């Protein structure tokens, strides 16, 4: 069904509209107009091929991202760029081919800069960052508790220690955190895996498709999405990457685009409150 | 020319992404911008996120220092100062705080004694509130602290990254 690039383009546009509706901007003055545009384009097929609609959406997202630059996460910029890329592609002939190139390059450049940042950060490459994240970042709680040996009580005490350090009336300059028995080796494993896979994705997506090695990029990015967003549930970013991956996929391999769609849908499973669910289930079993 | 641009338009938006990300990289490496923000892709690459930076603000009143929280109305200025600390951003945070009316957060008598007035915690009155007895702040000291994590000891060690002392007269004391 998606071996035809034209059909795939329509599907990708629908996926993008769903992205805008499921992960809207926090600011109402962006959320409301973007929602109107997205719903209109979902309902009226002709609007989906309007460059002006996508340009408007992209500019709204990027303006909001820039106006809140100190708090905006990087995937909001990527969403804005993607909408602009759609607008630019729809301006002229062969929009499918143009969008495939944009999608491939956007993915490649994201991972290039992500890998670069990790390589140049001394506190990343030695495992320090992930050691700290496992002990202090709520997004990694389940991973730290299941594989790192950090208990919920340790997490509570660590949060209290950090809060005490950062309190406005505090005179503390240092606090000690509680550590699990396996946290440091786990941190190093995640560190190595992440920088390796991001570097590999940068290479596979930035190399032109004529290089045979790039045929593996769809497999690698799907594995990346399935593993990364189980741990760091920034699902909007996952969806953007999967839409870009879907668009740039080769029409000659008929199983690839359905695989992207499957993961696109399946990623929502990660949105469930698994820490609470598992604690409830295990509590009842115990 | 136009035909060439149209044929190559698949490169335009990726070029914009690359330009912004490169500028962010330079600003972070050389100008103190946090790697996590600003249009780059440095999230999850370093302990030094805006969340691990924090502010300590003290009002200087004659002989004493009074630690005060950043008012909610200045949350955005505080966020920007934490994410990309520059003299201008620290001043944007310090100026309203040194000019504000700081009153005890707890209920106090109508005419509290000078000693009672200095019992914290303190809050900055909103402009629409009727003026209450306030402490006499002559200057404000704003410090941005950064946290490093020492993995071997499992210890967070914080140190001041930037500080600014701003007097009520708007003079910056270095």
For residues B142-163, give the mean pLDDT.
Answer: 96
pLDDT for the residue numbered A284: 63
Closest B-chain CA to A131: B151
What is the residue whose two structure tokens read 């495992």?
A127
Query: What does the alpha-carbon distance between residue A169 and residue A173 come to, in Å, rounded to a whole number?
Result: 12
Put simply, whether A231 touches B (Cβ < 8 Å) is no
Put simply, whether A132 touches B (Cβ < 8 Å) is yes
Chain B interface, best mutation among A114, A132, A133, A232, by max B CB count within 10 A: A132
Closest alpha carbon to A276 in A155, A141, A133, A131? A141
**How many CB atoms sit inside 10 A of residue B106's CB?**
10
The verdict on a CB contact (< 8 Å) between B16 and A84 is yes
**Residues facing residue B68 across a β-bridge:** B57
ipTM above 0.90, yes or no: yes
The verdict on a CB contact (< 8 Å) between A176 and B17 is no
**A271 or A225: which leads in pLDDT:** A225
What is the residue whose two structure tokens read 């994240």?
A133
- Is residue B174 over pLDDT 70? no
Query: What does the alpha-carbon distance between residue B24 and residue B4 come to, in Å, rounded to a whole number?
Result: 30
How many angstroms separate the CA of residue B45 from the nearest CA in chain A?
Answer: 5
Query: How many CB pairs lie under 8 A apart between chains A and B?
Result: 167
| CB contact residues (below 8 A), chain A span 156-175, against chain B | 161-162, 165-166, 168-170, 172-175
- Please report which residue ranges of A23-140 form alpha helices under DSSP H: 28-43, 51-67, 74-90, 95-120, 122-125, 128-136
Of the pLDDT bands very low, low, confident and very high (cuts 50, 70, 90), residue B121 is confident
The verdict on a CB contact (< 8 Å) between B151 and A177 is no
**A56 or A4: which leads in pLDDT:** A56
The verdict on a CB contact (< 8 Å) between B45 and A106 is no
- Joined together, the tokens standing for residue B124 give 């900055």
Of the listed ranges A215-219, B91-95, B116-120, B154-158, the one predicted with least confidence: B116-120
Query: What does the alpha-carbon distance between residue A191 and residue A205 come to, in Å, rounded to a whole number?
Result: 21
Segment B27-46, tens digit of pLDDT = 999 989 999 999 999 999 99
Q: Please, are residues B119 and B136 in contact by the beta-carbon 8 Å criterion? A: no
Task: Please report, for residues A113, A168, A203, B27, B34, the alpha-carbon distance to residue B23 in angstroms, rounded to integers and kept in the order given.
Answer: 11, 33, 22, 6, 13
Segment A53-81, tens digit of pLDDT = 999 999 999 999 999 999 999 999 999 99
B164 phi, psi to nearest 5 deg: -145, 135
Residue among A102, A124, A170 whose CB faces B10 most closely: A102
**Dihedral angle at the C-alpha atoms of B33, B36, B37, B40, nearest 10 degrees?**
100
The verdict on a CB contact (< 8 Å) between A174 and B156 is yes
- Is residue B115 over pLDDT 70? no
**How many CB atoms sit inside 10 A of residue B16's CB?**
18
**How many CB atoms sit inside 10 A of residue A253's CB?**
12
């Amino acid at each position: 069904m998606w071996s035809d690039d034209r059909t795939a383009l329509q599907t990708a546009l629908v996926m993008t509209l769903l992205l805008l509706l499921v992960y809207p901007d926090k600011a109402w003055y962006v959320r409301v107009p973007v929602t109107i545009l997205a719903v209109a384009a979902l309902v009226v097929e002709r609007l989906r091929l309007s460059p002006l609609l996508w340009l408007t959406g992209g500019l709204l997202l990027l303006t909001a991202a820039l106006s809140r630059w100190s708090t905006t996460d990087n995937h909001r910029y990527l969403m804005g760029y993607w909408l602009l890329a759609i607008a630019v592609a729809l301006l002229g002939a062969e929009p499918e081919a143009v969008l495939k190139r944009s999608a491939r390059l956007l993915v490649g450049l994201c991972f290039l800069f992500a890998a670069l940042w990790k390589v140049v950060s001394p506190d990343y490459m030695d495992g320090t960052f992930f050691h700290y994240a496992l002990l202090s970042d709520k997004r990694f709680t389940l991973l730290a508790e299941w594989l790192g040996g950090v208990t919920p009580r340790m997490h509570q005490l660590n949060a209290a220690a950090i809060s005490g350090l950062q309190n406005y009336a505090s005179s503390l300059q240092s606090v000690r955190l509680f550590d699990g028995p396996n946290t440091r080796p786990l941190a190093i494993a995640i560190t190595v895996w992440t920088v390796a896979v991001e570097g590999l994705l940068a290479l596979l997506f930035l190399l032109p498709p004529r290089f045979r090695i790039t045929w593996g990029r769809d497999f690698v990015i799907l594995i990346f999405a399935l593993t990364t967003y189980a741990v760091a549930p920034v699902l909007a970013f996952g969806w953007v990457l999967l839409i870009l991956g879907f668009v740039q996929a080769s029409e000659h391999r008929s199983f690839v685009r359905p695989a992207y769609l499957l993961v696109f849908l399946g990623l929502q499973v990660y949105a469930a409150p698994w820490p609470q669910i598992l604690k409830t289930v295990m509590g009842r079993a115990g | 020319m136009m035909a060439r641009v149209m044929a190559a338009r698949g490169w335009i938006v990726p070029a914009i992404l690359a330009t912004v990300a490169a500028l962010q990289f330079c600003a972070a490496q050389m100008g103190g911008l946090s790697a996590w923000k600003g249009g780059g892709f440095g999230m999850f690459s370093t302990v030094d996120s805006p969340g691990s930076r924090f502010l300590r603000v003290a009002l200087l009143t004659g002989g004493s220092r009074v630690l005060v929280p950043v008012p909610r109305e200045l949350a955005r200025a505080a966020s920007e100062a934490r994410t990309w600390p520059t003299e201008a951003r620290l001043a944007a945070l310090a100026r309203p705080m040194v000019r504000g009316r700081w009153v005890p957060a707890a209920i106090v008598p109508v005419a509290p004694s000078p000693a009672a007035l200095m019992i914290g915690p303190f809050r900055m009155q909103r402009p629409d509130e009727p003026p209450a007895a306030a402490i006499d702040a002559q200057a404000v000291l704003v410090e941005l602290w950064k946290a490093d994590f020492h993995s071997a000891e499992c210890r967070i060690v914080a140190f001041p990254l930037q500080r600014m002392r701003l007097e009520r007269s708007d003079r910056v004391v270095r």
